[in-house]
Chain A
Amino acid sequence: MSPAFESFLARLYVDSDERRRFLAAPGRVAAAAGLTGEEIAAAVAIDRVGLELAAASFERKRHHRRRFRFGRWRTWISSFVPWITRLAGSGVLEPPTRRQP
C-alpha cells in the first residue's frame, strides 16, 4: 500500500464531504485519487459500517482534544491574572499622566 492510499483513508476518516462523495461512487472517487488498481479494489470493498463508526470516533477524539487545548489556554491566561492584578494595584498599569507644563 502506498502513501497515497494512506492519505486517501485519512481524508475519508476526517472529511464528511469526501466520505459522502466516496460512498456515492466509491470506484470513481478512488480512481480520481490516483490509487492503483489494487488500492481501488480495496477502497471499493471498504467496511462501510466501520467507516462511519471510525469517522465518528475520530471526530469525538478531535473534539475532546480541542476542548482540552482551549482549557490549557484558559489556564495559561488565568495564571497571569494575579500578576496583572498586582501590577494594577501598584499603579504600573495606570495610563501615563500628562506632565503639566
Chain B
Amino acid sequence: MADRVGLTWHPQLAAAILAARERIDIVEVIPEGTFLESRKSQRALRTLARAMPVSIHGVSLGLASTTPVEQWRLDQFARLVDSVQPASWSEHLAFVRAGGVELGHLAAPPRTASTIDATAANLERAARTVGTYPMVENVATIIDPPGCRIDEQTWICELLSTSRADLLLDLHNLYANARNFGFDAAEVLKRIPSERIKSIHLAGGAPVHTPAGERWLDDHLHDVPDPVYRLLELVGQLVPHALDVVLERDGAFPPFTQILMQLDRARAALTKGRARQRLAS
C-alpha cells in the first residue's frame, strides 16, 4: 500500500516544491484563474504532470446546486483534463452562484433530497463531459445552511449511494463543521463508507469571535491542528486502500521546512493508523 502525501501548488512555492520533490509525492493544482484559461499555462502544467503526479482541484463548477452546471464550464475542464492527464480531478460539494449572483466562494447547499438528486445529476453531466467522475469534497461552512432536512453525514452518504463519484474527504472541513455545529467528527468519519474515500485534504483555520460565541473558519492560513492529525490516523485505520493526502495552504506561508514537517507528520499519522488496521485484521 503506497499512500501519497503532498500539497497544493502555489507559484510562491513552486521552486521549493521542485527542490523538495523527493519528499512530495503529489501536487494539487487549482486550475481557475490560470490553467483553465491559458494554453501556455496548460503546457506548463502538462510538463509538471509528467514530472510528478498532479491532481486538478476545481472551485468554480458549483456542482451541489439545483441549477444544472453550465456546459461551457465542463468543456473547459474536459479540455484541461484531456491535455494534462492528471492522476485525478475533483470539485466541491457546494454552490458558487445562483440567479446571476456570483458568490466568489463555496457555499454549503441546503441538505435535502432535492439537492442530493440535483448534485448527482450534475455529477453525471460532469462525468459525461470530462470522461471520468470528479472526486467530491465536503465543504466547511460557517453558517448552518438554511433549509436543511438532514445532517451532513446523511447527506454525504446518500449522495455517495446515488452517484458513482468518490469522496475527497477534507478532514479540516469536517473538524470545522463539527466544532461549529456540535457533532463528533470521528463518529461521522466512521459512518462514511470507507471504500468510497479516495483522497484526503488537510488544512488549518482559526476561530472567529462573535457576541454569540465562537466559530471556526477554514482559512488555509494556519498550520494543521492536532485533532485533524488524529482524524487522519483514524482514516488510516479505516480505509482499506492507498490514499492521496494533500495539505492545503493558501497564504501566510511559513518557512518551507515547516510545511515539509507537516507532510512528515501526516505520513506518521497515516502509518500509525495503517499499523492499527493491520493489527485489527
Whether a CB of chain A sits under 8 angstroms from the CB of B213 is yes
The reply on B159 being an interface residue by CB < 8 A is: no
Once the chains bind, are A57 and B217 in contact (CB under 8 Å)? Answer: yes
Contact string, A1-22, partner B, CB cutoff 8 A, digits 1/0? 1111111111101110000000
B142, B146, B215: the one contacting A9 at CB < 8 Å is B146
Docked complex Cα distance between A3 and B105 (Å): 18
Residues of B within 8 A of A50 (CB): 141-144, 180, 215
Q: How large is the interface on B (under 10, 10 to 19, 20 to 34, 35 or more residues)?
A: 20 to 34
Residue B110 is within 8 A (CB to CB) of chain A in the complex: yes
B67 contacts A by Cβ under 8 Å: yes
Is A77 interfacial (CB 8 A cutoff)? Answer: no
* Complex interface: chain A residues within 8 A of B180 (CB): 50
Q: Which residues of A contact B16 (CB under 8 A)?
A: none
Residue on A with the closest CB to B140? A57
Central interface residue in A2, A46, A49, A52, by most chain B CB within 10 Å: A49
Taking a contact as CB atoms under 8 Å apart, the answer to whether A57 and B105 are in contact is yes
Could you tell me how many residues of chain A have their Cβ less than 8 Å away from some Cβ of chain B? 35
A46 to B97, CA, bound (A): 19
Chain B residues whose CB sits within 8 angstroms of the CB of A10 once the complex forms: 95, 97-99, 101, 103, 107
Residue from A15, A38, A58, A68 with most neighbouring chain B CB atoms (10 Å): A58
Q: Mark B244-265, 1 if CB is under 8 A from A, else 0.
A: 0000000000000000000000
Q: B112 contacts the other chain (Cβ, under 8 Å)?
A: yes
Chain B's nearest CB lies how many Å from the CB of A38? 8
0 or 1 for each of B94-114: is its CB under 8 Å from A? (1 = yes): 010111111111010110101
B-chain residues with CB within 8 Å of residue A7 when the two chains form the complex: 98-101
Known contacts: A14-B101, A53-B142, A65-B104. The answer to whether A1 contacts B66 by CB under 8 A is yes
CB contact under 8 A between A54 and B107, given known A3-B66, A42-B146: yes
A1 touches B112 (CB 8 A): yes
- Please tell me if B208 contacts chain A, counting CB pairs below 8 Å: yes
Are B110 and A5 within 8 A (Cβ)? yes
Q: Is the CB of A6 within 8 A of B143?
A: no
Q: Closest Cβ of chain B: how far from A60's Cβ, in Å?
A: 9
A28 sits at the interface (CB 8 A) = no
Q: Are B146 and A3 within 8 A (Cβ)?
A: no
Which of the residues A46, A49, A61 comes within 8 Å of B146, measured between beta carbons?
A46
Interface residues of B in 59-118 (CB under 8 A from A): 65-67, 95, 97-105, 107, 109-110, 112, 114-115
Given contact pairs A5-B110, A62-B105, enumerate 7 new A-B contacts (beta carbons under 8 Å). Answer: A5-B66, A6-B98, A7-B98, A47-B146, A50-B144, A53-B215, A61-B105
